[in-house]
């Protein structure tokens, strides 16, 4: 067996499963989105489903709501993750315990987190009843609408709670990997704390931070279980809108559901591609300068 082919042959079973499940699903969605539904007697290729959803006000509202949730969740969780990683990089009393607590919610499913947010922050939830008992509000219904609200605050809270530790652990691993030598050298050259962070630490963290943020954005843009539990009925986030069209009793709505899924997949794929190209260009530029 040629040595250069050995890694590819070892990865072949895993790649075959990924291509079969993911690639097959995307291909099936693409075929149904262009109207190929032989079980309904529809075999003519058409873009009617794409034209229909792009003309719907519900689609545009869902798209911008989804974009808002993904951007807000990614920005807030990345900022909090950066702060936590910087705080946890140096040893202190109780460091191991705090680090353990910080990563404790990683194995918890998003759906469990969504139910927890619902029980805590809904207007009939624990905090609303506690505020009512404390005399802060006259009745639980006076509690601020954080769940099922137009700004999707409950959804953002769940995503921030879940993804902050994910991004934070990536940044913490990066900080521990690069060590303190460069910062120490900058300090010896007279750089203050802000200058060391701005010109040394932040550039070192940027590639990991961008990669983690792209993953978080892609997930929050395409996931539907949390918005389904915590989001309002209308407008709903784009994955929820696609899901409801998919489970519609009228099978003629299937192409529109698949068209939405194809658009979501395409946007996420383009984002990951651009991020990869930008990272590769930056790496080549740095190597060229050296």
pLDDT score at 2: 62
The number of folded domains in the chain is: 1
2 in a structural domain: no
Structural domain contains residue 113? yes
Please report whether residue 26 resides in a domain.
Answer: no
Tokens of 135: 């005399």
In a domain, 253, yes or no: yes
Domain presence at residue 219: yes
Task: Give the CA diameter of the chain.
Answer: 77
Of the candidates 177, 127, 158, the one whose C-alpha atom is nearest the C-alpha of residue 237 is 158
**What phi and psi values does residue 145 have, to the nearest 5 degrees?**
-75, 100
- Kindly report the CATH number assigned to the domain that includes residue 221: 1.10.3720.10
Instruction: For residue 105, give the nearest of 165, 172, 170 by alpha carbon.
Output: 165
Q: What is the DSSP letter of 190?
A: T
pLDDT of residue 290: 47
What gap in Å lies between CA 250 and CA 247, rounded to an integer? Answer: 8
Let me know: does 271 contact 218? Beta carbons within 8 Å. yes
Q: At 37, give phi and psi (nearest 5°).
A: -130, 80
Say how many C-beta atoms besides its own lie within 10 A of residue 81's C-beta.
27
Compute the chain's Rg from CA coordinates.
Answer: 24
Domain-embedded: residue 181: yes
Rounded to whole angstroms, how far apart are CA atoms 247 and 213? 31
Q: Return d(Cα 166, Cα 79) in angstroms, integer.
A: 12
> Tens-digit pLDDT profile for the chain (290 aa)?
566 777 778 888 888 888 888 888 888 888 988 888 887 788 888 898 899 999 988 899 999 999 999 999 999 999 999 999 998 888 888 888 888 888 888 888 999 999 999 999 988 888 999 998 888 888 888 888 888 888 999 999 999 999 999 999 999 999 888 877 888 888 887 888 888 888 888 888 888 899 899 999 999 999 889 999 998 888 899 999 999 988 888 888 889 999 999 999 999 888 888 888 777 765 555 455 44
Instruction: Supply the pTM of this predicted model.
Output: 0.86
Domain that holds residue 223: 32-289
Q: What does the pLDDT read at residue 288?
A: 53
Report the alpha-carbon angle 109-113-114, nearest 5: 115
Alpha helices in the chain (DSSP H): 6-18, 24-33, 48-54, 57-88, 95-102, 110-121, 126-133, 153-178, 181-188, 193-196, 202-222, 225-230, 238-246, 254-289
Give domain status of residue 21, yes or no. no
Quick check: is 129 in a domain? yes
CA 256 to chain centre: 24
Residue 283 pLDDT = 59
């Amino acid at each position: 067996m040629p040595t250069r082919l050995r890694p590819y042959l070892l990865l072949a079973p895993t790649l075959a499963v990924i291509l079969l499940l993911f690639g097959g699903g995307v291909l099936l969605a693409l075929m149904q989105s262009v109207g190929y539904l032989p079980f309904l007697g529809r075999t003519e290729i058409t873009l009617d489903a794409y034209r229909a959803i792009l003309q719907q006000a519900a689609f545009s509202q869902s798209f911008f709501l989804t974009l808002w949730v993904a951007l807000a969740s990614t920005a807030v969780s990345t900022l909090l993750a950066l702060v936590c990683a910087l705080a946890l990089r140096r040893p202190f009393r109780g460091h191991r315990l705090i680090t353990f607590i910080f990563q404790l919610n990683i194995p918890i499913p998003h759906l469990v987190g969504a139910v927890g947010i619902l029980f805590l922050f809904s207007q009939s939830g624990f905090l609303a009843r506690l505020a009512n008992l404390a005399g802060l509000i006259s009745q639980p219904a006076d509690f601020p609408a954080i769940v099922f609200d137009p700004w999707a605050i409950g959804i953002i809270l769940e995503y921030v709670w879940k993804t902050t530790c994910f991004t934070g652990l990536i940044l913490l691993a990066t900080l521990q990997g690069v060590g303190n030598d460069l910062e120490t050298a900058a300090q010896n050259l007279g750089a203050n704390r802000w200058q060391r962070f701005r010109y040394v630490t932040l550039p070192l963290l940027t590639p990991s931070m961008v990669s983690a943020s792209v993953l978080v954005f892609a997930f929050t843009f395409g996931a539907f279980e949390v918005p389904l539990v915590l989001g309002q009925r209308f407008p709903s986030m784009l994955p929820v809108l696609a899901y409801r069209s998919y489970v519609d009793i009228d099978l003629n709505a299937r192409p529109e559901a698949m068209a939405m899924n194809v658009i979501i997949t395409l946007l996420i794929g383009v984002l990951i591609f651009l991020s990869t190209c930008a990272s590769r260009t930056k790496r080549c530029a740095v190597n060229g300068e050296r």
